[in-house]
Amino acid sequence: MCGIVGFLDKTNDKLAPAGRTILAMLNALGCRGPDSAGVALYGPPADGRFVLRVKVGDNGGSESAARRLGEFAQSLDAGAEITATGAYARLEVTSKIAAKEWAARIESLDGGIEVVSLGTSLEIVKQVGSPAKLEAAYGVSHMPGAHGIGHTRLSTESKVDLSHSQPFWGRGRPDLAIVHNGHITNYHQLRRQYEQRGVKFYTENDSEIIAIYLAEQLGAGLDLEAGMRGMLRDLDGSFCCVVATATEMGFVKDQFALKPLLVAETDGFVAIATEEIAMRAALPGDYEAHEPGAREVKVWRR
């Protein structure tokens, strides 16, 4: 029942910022997922820097945790910059320290601190409640960028909080993010296999396994399309998934094609959404939307 969207501007940023477009799409899908909303947006790359979004609290954030986080980041990188809004701290730090090491060191500070996203251009923000609440808290419509993905969630198998909300970062893989509608029915089997190899899980949400899986596939040298095709082989269930990196966006539909997904492509943009109403609300004009078939995978590159 969740709603998922994706948007890629093909005009070299001549259209509205991706945040504004994706928010409009999510607003149109709000009835599909009243529990939470989130976006993964790709802004201008930070030169030689990582941008991190770090959860420091579930209920309005924690000033003391954010202050301690900033002091710790500056002990590792004297040029680290930190700001805090709501439940999140935003860090800009050197990329000379590996992504996995940054995440591990930051989370070692406190059990309640969680790195939500990390990359040269990726920023994920999530909020319990409607897309309107997400906008009120973080001003998503003003966030720059030329592509991104979004999610509205109806919880069917796990708790409602920031950690269980989507999008999910492909942990350890800079700039990888996913949104998912459906169920991964071999989730528990796959989770046990990953945990036996030392992989840490942060939620009971089956969508998290997709982010972990794709991060591993890309880390092994596969490209994004090959990684998503691997999902058709290794993940069971009925699902649609939209995936993005710093330079790409794509989707995959499972072998049953039970979950709805619409795609529209023009000379100016690519739009993906659970329902066509989301595209029409955000992107007026004369264009056609079509529904991909079973086992279909497609990737667009900026």
The rounded distance, in Å, linking the Cα atoms of 91 and 79 is: 10
CB 37 within 8 A of CB 130: yes
> Which one, of 32, 24, 106, 122, lies nearest residue 72 by Cα?
106
d(CA 209, CA 234): 11
Distance set, CA 161 to CA 62, 130, 192 (Å): 16, 13, 23
Residue of 2, 31, 240, 241 marked catalytic: 2
Exposure string of 166-178, with b = 16+ CB inside 10 Å and e = fewer, is bbbbbbbbbbbbb
At residue 144's C-alpha, the angle toward residues 141 and 149, to 5°, is 70
φ and ψ at residue 246, rounded to 5 degrees? -65, -25
Instruction: Specify whether 31 is catalytic.
Output: no
Catalytic sites, residue numbers? 2
